[in-house]
Amino acid sequence: MGTARPLVVAGALPGKPVKTTVIRIDNMDCATEEQIVRNRLRGMAGVGALEFDLVGRRLTVSHALPEEGPLVVALRSVGMAAVLADGAEDASAHRGEAARAHRRWSVLAVAGVAALGAEVLAWRLGDERALPVIALASLAMALGGRDTLRKGWAAVRTLTLNINFLMTLAVAGAVLVGQWPEAAMVTVLFALAEAIEGYAMDRARNAIRALMAMTPDTATVRGPDGAWHTIPAADVVVGQRARVRPGERVPLDGTVVAGMSSVDQAAITGESLPVDKGMGDVVFAGTLNQRGTFEFDVTAAQGDTTLARIVRSVQAAQAKRAPTQNFVDAFARVYTPVVVVLAVLMATVPPLTLGAAAGPALYNALVLLVIACPCALVISTPVTVVSGLAAAASRGILIKGGTFLERGHALRAIAIDKTGTLTHGRPVVTDVIPLVGDRPEAELLRLAASLDSLSAHPLAEAIVARWGGEGLLPVARFESLTGRGVSGTVDGRRYWVGNHRLAEELGVCGVHVEAHLERLEREGKTAVVLASDDAALAVFGLADSLRDTSVAAVGQLAALGMHLVLLSGDNQTTVRAIGDQLGIDDVRANLLPDDKVAAVLALADRYGGVGMVGDGVNDAPALAAATIGFAMGAAGTDVALETADVALMDDDLRRLPSFLHLSRRTTVILRQNIAIALGLKAVFFALAFTGQATLWMAVLADMGGSLVVVANGLRLLRGRGDAGFT
């Protein structure tokens, strides 16, 4: 379970390796249990950093202990159901959750009937301390309050002020003053609220599990005997040939080598429509084959697929605390002890100084203690953030932490790299201009493609791709002219294909040729000339074409109030032409990587929050300098996943306005939740200080508030596609 990490751990011996151990804690659902764990392990020799994943119920411990056993023992001593995490253990725990939930609801139903019976019997008898009433109330508390009392005792042992500790005090106090039916009803109401809250939290967990469950456990691969065999996907190695039939999910990442099909890859890229796949195309684990059978060579083992890396990134992101969560936690650490002191004063000052009855004063203090716990406030942020991260991942947007999800609402400017982001990043032929009347366009294109077929230059490849057909002409005495073009003999005659400079060297740049070349260059295109030894035969215009989605994406970003800047290392004419097509006025050309960083920093000084969109490799310095760095085309690109703050899992820039919508909506919900949690506290504090609140009202105020903010946060999981963020 442990892997070496270069961390400094308190209590570690010099030279002793530091390890990380992942522990699954099935009853760690919220910040109250987290604090118990922190308090128990904080002073343990050799234990260092603790990382919590409340949604996944996992704890990562950095330590220098010789073995992991003492960690598990320490956690179990304070009531934590701790086990060392591995794939089999996690799967077993997941399978047992449904059975545990069923038992929990059954026990809670019996406890509820007993508590209600105690209330009815006390009313009929007119005595809340009658033996039948005490018996029913005790049964309700024993069944419904088992978990609360156990966690409350653990809180006492670790000196942790949490809702379980306060509820234990409240129930004990109610019994002490003879309020047996109310103590029973409070216990059941609290257990019911926790059960509903747990159900709501499971929805956030299931959003992550749904991603993990997309990959099939088995794969059909070709064996050494040439026959097809179904084996566990975990046993498939890189390079093996696999096959997928219609209706099956792709088990591993790979490259298609035979067959054609249409694949729904929304799980990876968020694309709403299936994508056609053929020879040489990439397929991703977890995507759904719609029609047709195809074979592919595996390019990533089960744990290294794009989907596996997405899941790991989301799990890691949800463990990182967002700014709002840090604020809430800091607030709760001060707020809770202050209110506990107020409750003590409420219980002691009136009887000692004002001659008030001790029983009612103690009861009001207990009510205040229950109201005091900031459970709704603390739980609202992680549920909302995790819901936002999961919603984004399902739409092809991978956010590396709650910090970046929150920061998105503050962006006011977006710097966008041109090549590979707004454009395809490869040239295509846009113009074919014949210069001789007796030779048709197709013949000239075929001649140029025949010469360029022997060159590996991107412009030559673009001309060959434009021809696209069979029947290239044989070329003799081929010659590559560095920095100018190519030359070769076809049917005994010498031809050249090259740039403006080569045309001038050949002496074929007449006035009419120059006019075409200048026009193409003004449009930001690269001009290529096909010439014989005595005349220019044709001019080709080539350009890096815009992506189909770029215009729509830029329009959506402008509608959101973003100031858009186009950054590129290309020449000013080319960049200006792209900017004009997109409607971007602020274009900056001839930029080196350091120049892009300077541009981003200048935008940050002027606008505050600035995003940078690039390919995640060449633009890495600028991505790092921005408030949020966005990597395009991250599917299958390790560098983009590792360096970017947000990865757009396909080459569709429209994911960026979707992210901004989601970030703004998340921020609104976080603020709503804080207002709801604090507003409820304020109202019931007033009721408690005036003696109007009861224990069961306090429970409803605390746990009811928790349920409201959790449900509000889970709203982010609703909806599909870009419209789901608006």
- For 273-319, what is each residue's pLDDT tens digit? 678 888 988 898 888 898 889 999 999 998 888 888 777 766 665 55
**Helix or strand or coil: residue 19?**
strand
Q: Which of 351, 137, 282 is nearest to 650 (CA)?
A: 282
pLDDT attached to residue 577: 84
321 and 334 Cβ atoms separated by less than 8 Å: no
- For 394-415, what is each residue's pLDDT tens digit? 787 888 777 888 889 999 999 9
pLDDT attached to residue 2: 37
87 and 212 Cβ atoms separated by less than 8 Å: no
Element (H, E) at 130: none
pLDDT attached to residue 638: 57
Contacts of 103 (CB under 8 A, 6+ apart): none
Same fold, 19-85 and 388-423+546-664: no
Q: What is the DSSP string of 609-630?
A: EEEEEE-SSTTHHHHHHSSEEE
Distance CA 724, CA 726 (A): 6
Architecture category of domain 425-545 in CATH: 3-Layer(aba) Sandwich (3.40)
**Helix or strand or coil: residue 295?**
strand
Mean pLDDT (10-residue bins), the chain, 726 residues: 39 58 79 78 83 77 87 84 67 56 80 88 85 89 80 72 71 78 79 68 62 81 92 92 93 93 75 77 88 92 82 62 62 72 84 81 78 66 79 81 86 89 84 87 93 88 87 91 88 92 90 91 86 92 85 93 89 83 89 84 93 75 86 60 74 89 92 86 81 74 76 76 42
For residue 493, the cross-strand partners are: 490
- Just give the CATH number of 19-85: 3.30.70.100
3-state SS, one letter per residue, for 494-561: EEEEECHHHHHHHCCCCHHHHHHHHHHHHCCCEEEEEEECCCEEEEEEEEEEECCCHHHHHHHHHHCC
708 and 674 Cβ atoms separated by less than 8 Å: no
| 417 in catalytic set | yes
pLDDT attached to residue 456: 81
Element (H, E) at 3: none
Q: Which of 332, 527, 301 is nearest to 430 (CA)?
A: 527
CA angle 217, 28, 713 (to 5 degrees): 80
Q: Which of 313, 525, 277 is nearest to 404 (CA)?
A: 313
Distance CA 345, CA 16 (A): 50
Cα 144 off chain centre by:
37
- For 557-600, what is each residue's pLDDT tens digit? 999 999 999 998 777 887 888 888 899 999 998 787 778 889 99
Domain 224-304 = CATH 3.40.250.10 = no
For residue 494, the cross-strand partners are: 489
Amino acid in position 187:
T
> What dihedral angle (degrees, nearest 10) is formed by the CA atoms of 548, 554, 556, 561?
180
pLDDT attached to residue 546: 83
Q: Which of 178, 173, 174 is nearest to 129 (CA)?
A: 178
- Just give the CATH number of 388-423+546-664: 3.40.50.1000
Q: Domain ranges for the chain, please list them.
A: 19-85, 95-209+316-385+667-717, 224-304, 388-423+546-664, 425-545
pLDDT attached to residue 665: 93
The 423-434 sheet, strands edge to edge: 423-434, 536-546, 526-532, 493-498, 485-490, 476-481
Q: What are the start-end ranges of the H helices in 126-162?
A: 131-144, 146-157
Catalytic-labelled residue, pool 417, 544, 570, 651? 417
> Backbone phi, then psi, for 471, in 5-degree steps?
80, 35
